[in-house]
Structure 1
Amino acid sequence: MRVLGLMSGTSADGVDAVLAEFAGPPRRPRWRLLSRAALPYPTALRRRLIAIGQGQPLVAAEVLELGEALTQVQAEAARACDPEGRAALVGCHGQTVWHRPPLANQRGCSWQLLQGPLLAQLLQRPVVYDFRAADLALGGQGAPLVPAADAALLPAAGGWRGLLNLGGIANLTLLPPASGPDRAAAVQGWDCGPANTLLDLAVDHFSGGKQNFDAGGAWAAQGKPDEALIQHWLELPYLQQTPPKSTGRELFGQSDLQQRLHDLEQSAHQRGSNLEPSNALATLTAFSAAVVAQDLNQSPAIVELLVAGGGARNHTLMRQLRRRCRGLELRPLAELGIGDSDREALAFALLAWWHQLRIPGSLPSVTGASQPAVLGVCASPGQ
């Protein structure tokens, strides 16, 4: 079956789309990518999405209009990827605007903004959306959901294999080895902490809104990380928490950045200087790498780390990862046929296919749910 996958992550920079074909055993399908496309959000829309994702209040009418505008961009990305309408089904994650993980006495909840029936009508295709709700209802985190797809789409290696996504949030998947005592172990996965959320917000701050990301990590490369501050930041309760765990802009957003900039300014003043933007960006970049390295140090030893997401194109971030993950081979996931921006869109195409086949798409070993669940709600055109 040909399925279109649409994904917009925590960075809220636009929509990644892939057209994929799946056949054979659902848990280990034959698959191939037929086409891909990426469509950025208009600047005004992106700023509104980031604002609501950090708690800015909106009246109901504004929320409805925002959902409609976002859905329209999703449809445009779908048409750009599949102009001939070859897909029989669409899987769309929508745009997360708020995520609350489960607490000791409270079930989690998560809101992915999208008008699913409208998207189905615009594309004249069934659309599977609202992927997190079923897992949350079973006591799970509702995220990350991509590890199940990683396990289905990628071959096992001779040892534990790690996959790192450097989007707005850094998240890890650990796949058990093909042989040996751990071959029957459960897939692991969790959100580590910030990757690009704080970096992008800091670039916007220091550039006066003229830039929204540090292209190639060039700005951060001019500065020097504050290692003492990084070690202090690593003691944040979320970063010390054991999986299952998930997070987003609610924790690593604008207010968190302001606190970290305050810390950086205080540290600079103690050294008798003013805070340089390049040093702030260097520290935030190194912090993102240190968060991942800390988690890997507490996990099963992996033979390689496959890296995807927008952060994989940040050369300074990648250098910091290699320095802090000494002895670990880092490779682009693209070497296995899945490009930096394809992985999550491909995962939601697969999850939509599984939805149609009534195959559970969640992994309790990752989300902490009481049982696996078929994920998503399907909207058909005309219904």
Structure 2
Amino acid sequence: MTERYIGLMSGTSMDGIDAVLVQLEGDALRVEVALCHPWPADTARTLHELCTPGENEIDRMGVADNLVAREFAAATQALLAKAALTPKEIRAIGSHGQTIRHRPALGFTLQIGNAALLAALTGIDVVADFRTMDMALGGQGAPLVPAFHQALFARPGALRVVLNLGGIANISVLLGQADGGAGSGVYGFDTGPANTLLDGWYRRHHPHGDNYDAGGQWAASGRLIPALLEQLLAHPYFAAPAPKSTGREMFTLDWLDGELDGCTYAPADVQRTLQSLTCHSIARQLPAHSDAPTRPELFVCGGGAHNAPLLAELAALLPDWHLTSTAQLGLAPDWVEGAAFAWLAQRFIQRKPGNLPAVTGASRPAVLGALYPA
């Protein structure tokens, strides 16, 4: 039976709300309509501020919780209008919410976006709070998308890696083996920062410009600082074993300032070096592939898929890999994560596990999410 689901996702880059309407029949997925709903400038500023510890956080978070829900509802309504559909034609919304803290070492993660208000405003059942059950079972609560990548993109006998370049970079390694029912043949983890430091450093030096370095052009104008790159790569996270996940809390501008330690590097040179940090940290953590029967494939999705200089550097570091976009697999790179949360909503409705313990470290597979009826 074919059903329609909506996935709503805003990542750590906070560059907009990805709204994706999909048709699902089993694991077969087709994107029907998708859009990116921009954050109002004042809301984006509030969310960025909440990601850094400050005063009166509880009150500010409560206000932001409702602001996020209202923007998610606006994105949903725009999506329905674009598709010429009514709320009754949607089985459920899978809402990731907006992460403002992710502290797996402390056993908690926090995504805001009042799911009850979202259900009330849209008239559609909402599945939300996807990460906490995995954490309750001892897992990292992230990444959750490898199960989706495995269902859609794995191919027997092929080594495929799906690389999501959002605020944080994460990989899903699809080994091309039969799934034994608990995620055998797949593993994944966060490799470290992708866009979060690049975006933050850019905004600091372009306070009245875009929110990010469009097309990586500012980074391309700078020169690599090799000593700084090796210093940044010495962060212990990069050498830590999987399962592991991270967030903006670990790779902050305060951390970067501490590493710079008053050095007066040209800002564009630092940006260029941050690009290399993203590329080298990914390349160093990809799996060995000498036994792969075919050339290994790296499929890129997320906002970083549009950063040509970054992709060129990554390709140069990985000459043995075929690097391309998830568009080659039939799913545009901008919509992969939104589609994943639509798929996870379906898994909840069908009471099927959504996590992979081999990825997150949870003690067992589990149904993820909580239902907020309209």
Give your verdict on TM over 0.5. yes
Equivalent position to 1:283, from 273, 277, 301 = 273
CA distance in 2, matches of 1:75, 1:299: 44
| SS of alignment partner, residue 341 of structure 1 | helix
What is the match of residue 145 of structure 1?
144
- Give the aligned partner of residue 369 of structure 1: 362
- 2:296 aligns to what SS in structure 1? strand
Q: What is the Cα deviation at residue 315 of structure 1?
A: 1.3
Deviation sequence 1:26-75 (CA, Å, 0-9, x none):
xxx22211100111111111121111112233343322111111111101
Moved more, 224-233 or 14-23: 224-233
Instruction: Find the aligned partners of 2:256 and 2:121 in 1 and give their Cα distance.
Output: 38
Structure 2 CA distance for aligned equivalents of residues 256 and 161 of structure 1: 33
Q: Which amino acid aligns with 1:284?
A: L
Q: Do the aligned partners of residues 178 and 297 (structure 1) sit closer, same or farther apart at CA in structure 2, a change above 3 Å counting? A: closer
Counterpart code for 2:354: G
Q: 3-state DSSP class of the match of 2:68?
A: helix
- Sort the Cα spacing of 1:41 and 1:172 in 2 relative to 1 into closer, same or farther, 3 A: same
* CA distance in structure 2 between the partners assigned to 1:131 and 1:148 by the alignment: 13
Q: Partners in 2 of 1:297 and 1:33 — Cα distance?
A: 30
Output aligned runs, 1:301-312, within 5 Å: 303-312=296-305
Residue 271 of structure 1: aligned partner: none
Measure the CA separation in 1 of the matches of 2:73 and 2:257.
35
- Partner AA of 1:325 in structure 2: L
Structure 2 Cα separation of the partners of residues 8 and 275 of structure 1: 33
**What amino acid does structure 2 have at the position aligned with 1:16?**
D
Aligned equivalent of 1:92: 95
| Deviations 1:342-375 (CA, angstroms, capped at 9, x unpaired) | 1111010000001010000000000000001100
Q: Displaced runs of 4+ in structure 1, greater than 4 A?
A: 297-302
RMSD (CA atoms): 1.7
Structure 1 residue 217: Cα displacement: 0.6
- Name the SS for the 1:82 alignment partner: helix
1:223-274: CA deviations, max 9, x gaps?
A: 11112221222121111101000000110123123224x25x53xxxxxxx4
2:335 maps to amino acid: D
Which structure 2 segments of 5+ residues have no match? none
SS of the residue corresponding to residue 250 of structure 2 reads coil
Whether contact under 8 Å (1:186, 1:365) holds in the other structure is no
Residues 37, 81 of structure 1: 8 Å contact kept: yes
Q: Are residue 101 (structure 1) and residue 104 (structure 2) matched?
A: yes
- Whether the aligned pair in 1 keeps the contact of 2:52 and 2:249 (CA below 8 Å) is yes
SS of residue paired to 1:37: strand
**Match in the other structure for 2:48:** 50
Once residues 224 and 172 of structure 2 are traced to their aligned partners in structure 1, the CA distance between those partners, rounded to angstroms, is 27
Q: Distance in 1 between matches of 2:231 and 2:317?
A: 16
Shift of 1:4: 0.4
Amino acid at match of 2:361: G
2:13 pairs, out of 11, 14, 18, with: 11
Q: Given the alignment, which residue of 73, 76, 81 partners 2:74?
A: 76
Runs of 5+ in structure 1 lacking a partner? 267-273
Q: Aligned pairs, how many? A: 360
Distance 1:298 1:95 in 2: 34
Q: Deviations over 1:122-173 (max 9, x none)?
A: 1101100000011000000000000001111224153210000000000000
CA 1:87–1:131 in structure 2 vs 1: closer, same or farther (change >3 Å)?
A: same
Q: 2 CA distance for matches of 1:178 and 1:372? A: 19
Asked whether the equivalents of residues 20 and 32 of structure 1 are also in contact (C-alpha less than 8 Å), the reply is yes
Instruction: Determine helix, strand or coil for the equivalent of 1:189.
Output: strand
Partner secondary structure for residue 93 of structure 1: strand
Does the CA contact (< 8 Å) of 2:7 and 2:94 recur in 1?
Answer: yes
* TM-score, normalised by the number of residues in structure 1: 0.90
Q: 1:351 aligns with which of 320, 324, 344?
A: 344
Cα distance change, pair 14–169 in 1 and its aligned pair in 2 (3 A): same
- Distance in 2, matches of 1:250 and 1:96, equals 11
3-state DSSP of counterpart to 2:286: helix
Identity of aligned residues (%): 40
How far apart in 1 are the matches of 2:301 and 2:156? 18
Counterpart Cα distance in 2 of 1:59 and 1:328 = 45
1:1-383 to 2 correspondence within 5 Å?
1-24=3-26, 29-83=27-81, 84-85=85-86, 86-102=89-105, 108-177=107-176, 185-260=184-259, 262-263=260-261, 266=263, 274-296=264-286, 303-381=296-374
- Matched with 1:270 is none
